[in-house]
Amino acid sequence: MSKGKEAVVTPWEVKGNIDYGKLIEKFGVSKIDKKLLSRIAKVCGGEDKVHPFLRRGIFFAHRDLKWALDEYDKGNKFYLYTGCGPSGPVHLGHATIWQFTKWLQDVFDCELYFQFTDDEKFLFKDKSFDEIQKWVHENMLDVIAFGFDHKKTHFIVDTKHANIMYPQAIQVAKKLTTSTVKSAFGLKDSSNVGQMFYTAMQAVPAFLPSQLKGKNIPCLIPHAIDQDPHFRVTRDILPKLGYYKPASIQSRFLPGLGGIQKDGKLSSSTGAAIYMTDSAKDVKKKINKYAFSGGQATVEEHRRLGGNPDVDVSYQWLSFFEEDDSKLAAIYADYKSGKLLSGELKAILIEKVNGILAAHQKRRAKAESKISKFMLKV
C-alpha cells in the first residue's frame, strides 16, 4: 500500500495505513503458517475445504492455535468465544468474523459462547441504556441469522447475566491494576470507573465454561486484530486464576467504503457502512457513491493503463465475499489490465453483497422466536 497517516489500532479506533506484518510484531501474535493450515485442512477434509478467509490470509494471525489444535487432537475440544458490541446495526465487518466463527463451529463441532457487551457500549458511548438494549435485541436477530446451532451456542448479555458474570469479573479485577488497564487501553484518570473495570467483564467468557463445568476447557477466540489488547490482558490473568490462557485467531479489517486509510475499518462510526438490513437499492447507492475506486479518471485511460485492485475497495471487499478463487483471480486480472471498468467491478460487488444480504434477511426474519433458545441458561 502507498504511504499514509500513521496507523492507530486500538479496540476503539482503527485508522491510517495498516501494515499487518508490523502489527504481528507490535502485538506479538504469530502468523498462521502453512503447517497450521494443513492441520486445519485435515480436520475439515481437504485443502479446498479450508475457509477462504484462511486460504487468503484474512484470518492471518493467532496466539496458541497450535496448542488448541493439539488439545483438540487429544480429545480436549476447545470452545469458541466471540462477541458483539451492541451500539448500532450489524454491518458487513461483523459478518466476516461471525461467518468464520460459524464455519469453525461446524468444522470442529464445538460450543460457542457469544457475548453481547451492552455494559461496554453503555460506558464508552454517548448512548442511553435503553438504546443499547434495543441494539442487543436487533443484533441478536442478526447473529442468529448466521445459522449458529442453538444447541451449541450460548448468548451472554453482560447485564442480563451479571449474576454469573460479575462474581467472575471481580476475580479478574482483583489481579488487574489500574495502571495495567491504563497502559493497555490508553485510559486516563478522566475515564469513568466503569471503563476501568470493563475489561474484567470481557475476560470472563474466556474461562466461564471451565468455571461452570469445573474442569479446564481450551478456548479459541476469533476476533479482529484491534480487540487483541483485551485478550492480551486476559491471557496474563487467567493462569493466575488456574485457567488456560485462551488461544485466539485474528483477522484483518474489512476496510470502510472510503478505504482503510480514510475510513479505517468498516464501522458505523466513520464513513458509510453497509448494514445487514440494508435494501438492495441502498447497497447499490452506497457502493456506487462511496466505494473508493482504484480506476483511472477516464474510461480511455482505464483501458490503456488499467486499474489498481490493491487499493480498490470493491475488489478488496470481493476478496472477502467471493468464495470462488478462480473467479476472484479473473476479476483481479481483468481490472488490472483495464478490461474491467470500475463501474463494472462495482456492479459485481453489488450483486454479490445483495445476494448475501437477501439470504441473511430471509433467515433474520425467522430469528425472533429463537432468541430464548440461544440465551445461556445457568
Binding segment toward a second copy, per CB under 8 A, in 29-37, 191-199, 219-227, 263-271: 191-199
Would you count residue 214 as binding a second copy (CB under 8 A)?
no
Q: Report d(CA 351, CA 197) in Å as an integer.
A: 44
What is the DSSP secondary-structure string of 240-277?
GGT-PPPEEEEEPPPBPTT-HHHH-BS-SSSS---BTT
184, 142 contact by CB (below 8 A): no
Edge to edge, what strands does the sheet with 219-224 contain? Answer: 30-31, 59-63, 247-251, 219-224, 79-84, 112-116, 153-157
Q: Using CB under 8 A, which of 197, 243, 335, 374 touches a second copy? A: 197
Q: For residues 127 and 339, which CB has a smaller minimum distance to a second copy in the complex?
A: 127
Would you count residue 372 as binding a second copy (CB under 8 A)?
no
Q: Report d(CA 238, CA 221) in Å as an integer.
A: 14
Q: For residues 48 and 126, which CB has a smaller minimum distance to a second copy in the complex?
A: 126
**What track of x and - describes contact with a second copy for positions 119 through 148 (by CB under 8 A)?**
x--xx-----x-------------------
**What track of x and - describes contact with a second copy for positions 80 through 119 (by CB under 8 A)?**
---------------------------------------x
What is the grid cell recorded at 28? Answer: 506479538
Binding segment toward a second copy, per CB under 8 A, in 9-17, 109-117, 177-185, 209-217: 177-185
How far does Cα 323 stand from its chain's mean position? 18
Binding segment toward a second copy, per CB under 8 A, in 47-55, 189-197, 296-304, 310-318: 189-197
96, 322 contact by CB (below 8 A): no
Cα distance between the two ends of the chain = 49
Q: Where are the alpha helices (DSSP H) in 31-117?
A: 34-44, 52-55, 65-73, 92-108
Q: For residues 8 and 187, which CB has a smaller minimum distance to a second copy in the complex?
A: 187
Would you count residue 208 as binding a second copy (CB under 8 A)?
no
Q: Which residues contact 77 (CB under 8 A, 6 or more apart)?
A: 71, 108, 109, 110, 217, 218
Would you count residue 199 as binding a second copy (CB under 8 A)?
yes
* Total interface residues for a second copy by CB under 8 A: 37
Would you count residue 194 as binding a second copy (CB under 8 A)?
yes
Q: For residues 99 and 171, which CB has a smaller minimum distance to a second copy in the complex?
A: 171
Q: Using CB under 8 A, which of 28, 45, 167, 239 touches a second copy? A: 167
What residue ranges bind a second copy (CB under 8 A)? 119, 122-123, 129, 158-163, 165-167, 169-171, 173-179, 181-182, 187-194, 196-197, 199-200
